[in-house]
Amino acid sequence: MKASDLIANNVKKIVVIGPECTGKSELSKFLADHFKTVWVEEYARAYLNKLIHGYEKSDLTKIANGQARMEDEWMYDANKVLICDTNAVVVKVWSEFKYGDCDPDILKLIAERKYDLYLLTYVDVPWEEDKQREHPDKREQLWQIFHDELSKLSVPFVDIRGNREERRQKAIKAIEEIILASDTY
């Protein structure tokens, strides 16, 4: 077994996903601080900030691959858990919602990359205007799409909703259960 495989096997990957403006980044940063680990920021934000034109469907594949590369790089600095602020599932949902389909390379990333837990953020936080956000009136619809997608993938996920403290405590409890389960094997 390679050293990189050993590290990857000992680190639990937690991904925070959900519709835009549902507190994913704030929760990711909080969880990384709480668990004294690192978090993988949303690659799309930096990528889109550098574009001189609006994004196109082909940009979504670049974003998904960039997010995956960042996860791989930060894995080595993680302390038991790696908190990921989004992943390729988010890109897939967005691609299908906006363009009606999804690049097979994104689907391949989803199939190949495994996560120990998904935290699905609900739309019960106020919308904050941002030039990268597009659909304040479709967050509930998008949340349902995310929920259905996670159900189809048969991956472990926890619905994160409530006020800030309730969200944080629910996420902490879910992650602690994942860590405890791995420590008992």
Contacts of 122 (CB under 8 A, 6+ apart): 18, 22, 143, 159, 160, 161
For the cut 80, the answer to whether the pLDDT of residue 184 exceeds it is: no
Structure tokens at 3: 């050293």
CATH of domain 11-183: 3.40.50.300
Q: How confident is the model at residue 182 (pLDDT cuts 50, 70, 90)?
A: confident
Residue 179 CB coordination number (10 Å): 16
Q: How confident is the model at residue 21 (pLDDT cuts 50, 70, 90)?
A: confident
Domain boundaries, the chain: 11-183
Q: How confident is the model at residue 26 (pLDDT cuts 50, 70, 90)?
A: very high
Nearest C-alpha neighbor of 103 from the set 61, 50, 74: 61
The angle, 0 to 180 degrees and rounded to 10, between the axes of the packed helices 104-112 and 88-99 is 150
Residue 133 CB coordination number (10 Å): 13
Q: Is the pTM of this model over 0.75?
A: yes
* Predicted pLDDT of residue 185: 46
Alpha-carbon distance 102 to 125, whole Å?
A: 28
Structure tokens at 120: 């699905």
Nearest C-alpha neighbor of 146 from the set 172, 123, 115, 127: 123
* Predicted pLDDT of residue 135: 61
Q: How confident is the model at residue 4 (pLDDT cuts 50, 70, 90)?
A: very low
Nearest C-alpha neighbor of 158 from the set 123, 183, 121: 121
For the cut 90, the answer to whether the pLDDT of residue 7 exceeds it is: no
* Predicted pLDDT of residue 6: 43
Share of the chain above pLDDT 70, in %: 89
User: What does the pLDDT look like over 78-127, one tens digit per residue?
Assistant: 999 999 999 999 999 999 999 999 999 999 999 999 999 999 999 998 77
